[in-house]
Amino acid sequence: MIEHVLEQKKLVPTEETPQRSKVRFVKEIMVKPLPKKFKMPQLTTYSGKGDPYDHMQNYEAVMLLHGWEDAIMCRAFPLTLTEHAHIWFNNMKEGSISNFNQLRKEFIDAFLINARRKKDASYLLTIKQEEKESMKDYVERFRATTLEVQDLQAIVAISGMLQGTRSRDFQKSLSLDQPLTLRDLFSQANKFILSEDVMRHINAGNRDKKRKDRDETNDEGRKTGRGNEHRQVPKLKFENFTPLSQPRSTILASIEGSGLLIFPPKVNKTMGKFIDAYCRFHKTHGHSTDRCRELMNEIKSLVRRGKLNRFGY
């Protein structure tokens, strides 16, 4: 008798009126058959407490990798939700979701408060290289920060690195050959780091060689009874340079066709650590014409012999 009354009031399910859960997707999504080989991939779950963008990006990446279409992505998504996120989905209106783009927007809007805040581009100007931080570590830290900036313009990143690095040589490199894109910026930074490593190894090898030569000289001096303590260290040929009235590159351009200047043999390697700089005297990269010491020696020699008085004092 009681069961009959409840059945009439539709408060309990019967065989004629089966109970079913609400379906949040439209009919077109629900009638789409599952592929025969469909297997739910391993997916991370979301409880409603983390960054919704992270969860959605991870979900889409896995589902698109398997090639599942829009309807399957809609129907599989609720299986990744737990706790508060699961409650949110169950409270959605029946038949309210018609495609995955809509589901994505509803999900992001619901948990947007938990999203990590994107950094403003001006934050890059605060990323400074620490006193003992290597150039490589600084560039990696700077690069990681750029990923947290939304709609980043290359000029802002370039300015940030130009102000943030402690390397004067790299600042000069950026100023003389300013990159146009983020890719160019990090490519130039990586080349500079590589050149620094090469020069570090070269200098270490030179120090070892000098130490070895000095030890051998001392050994020879002890054998002959003549130590090195009374030897005069030869002075450089041009220890005190007279200032020139023109840059070295200008003087070179004026006399390179005169036959006065003897050019060194061309080398097929970089001479110096500034790979973006070019020396017209050596015809190679590594240093600039105006910073070439060998060219300075040659010019001073000509000046002191009276060949280039108009360029000296």
Does 300 fall in a domain?
Answer: yes
Q: How many domains, in total, are found in the chain?
A: 3
Cα dihedral: 299, 301, 305, 310 (round 10):
20
**240 in a structural domain:** no
Shared domain for 147 and 75, answered yes or no, is: no
Indicate if 99 and 141 belong to the same structural domain: no
27 and 91 in a single domain? The answer is yes
Residue type, 104: R
Q: Is residue 305 part of a domain?
A: yes
- Report helix, strand or coil for 150: coil
Tokens of 137: 């570590």
pLDDT of 236 reads: 39
Out of 96, 114, 132, pick the residue that ends a domain.
Answer: 114
Is 167 a domain residue?
yes
Q: Residue 195's pLDDT is what?
A: 82
pLDDT range class, residue 36, cuts 50, 70, 90 = confident
> Poorest-confidence range of 18-22, 39-43, 116-120, 227-231?
227-231
pLDDT in tens, 178-195: 899 999 999 999 988 888
Task: Decide if 124 contacts 142 (C-beta within 8 A).
Answer: yes
- What percent of the chain clears pLDDT 70, i.e. is strictly above it? 77
Domain containing residue 306 = 248-311
Query: In the listed set 47, 82, 114, which residue is the last one of a domain according to the structure?
Result: 114
Among the candidates 64, 95, 114, a domain finishes at 114
Domain check: are 81 and 137 in the same one?
Answer: no
Q: Calculate the average pLDDT of the chain.
A: 79
pLDDT of 1 strictly over 50: no
| 167: CATH | 1.10.1200
**Tokens standing for residue 196:** 């620094």
List the structure tokens of 212: 């070895």
pLDDT, one tens digit per residue, over 207-255 is 655 666 565 555 555 555 544 444 443 443 444 555 666 788 888 887 8
For residue 290, being part of any structural domain is answered with yes
Q: Do both 77 and 12 map to the same domain?
A: yes
110 and 157 both lie in a single domain? no
Find the mean pLDDT for residues 285-313: 79
Cα–Cα distance for residue pair 3/83, rounded to 1 Å: 35
Residues 94 and 134 in one domain: no
CA distance 164 to 157: 10
Are 7 and 110 members of one domain?
Answer: yes
84 lies in the same domain as 53: yes
Shared-domain flag, residues 25 and 102: yes
The tokens describing 233, both together, are 């260290």
Answer whether residue 71 is part of any domain. yes
Q: Return the structure tokens found at 132.
A: 């003992």
Listed in sequence order, the residues at least 6 apart from 192 whose beta carbon sits closer than 8 Å to its beta carbon are: 135, 167, 169, 170, 173, 275
Burial degree of 27 (CB within 10 A; 0-12, 13-18, 19+): exposed
Tell me phi and psi for residue 149, to 5 degrees. Answer: -105, 130
| 138: amino acid identity, one letter | Y
Asked if 8 and 97 sit in the same domain, the reply is yes
CA 236 to chain centre: 43
Residue 174 lies in a domain: yes
Shared domain check, 143 and 84: no
pLDDT at 11: 38
Nearest-angstrom CA–CA distance, 150 and 118:
6
H/E element, 275: strand 274-279
Q: Per-residue pLDDT tens for 69-126?
A: 888 989 989 999 999 999 999 999 888 899 999 999 999 999 988 887 777 888 888 8
Domain annotation covers residue 209: no
Q: What's the pTM value of the predicted model, to 2 decimals?
A: 0.41
Collapsed DSSP state (helix, strand, coil) of residue 4: helix
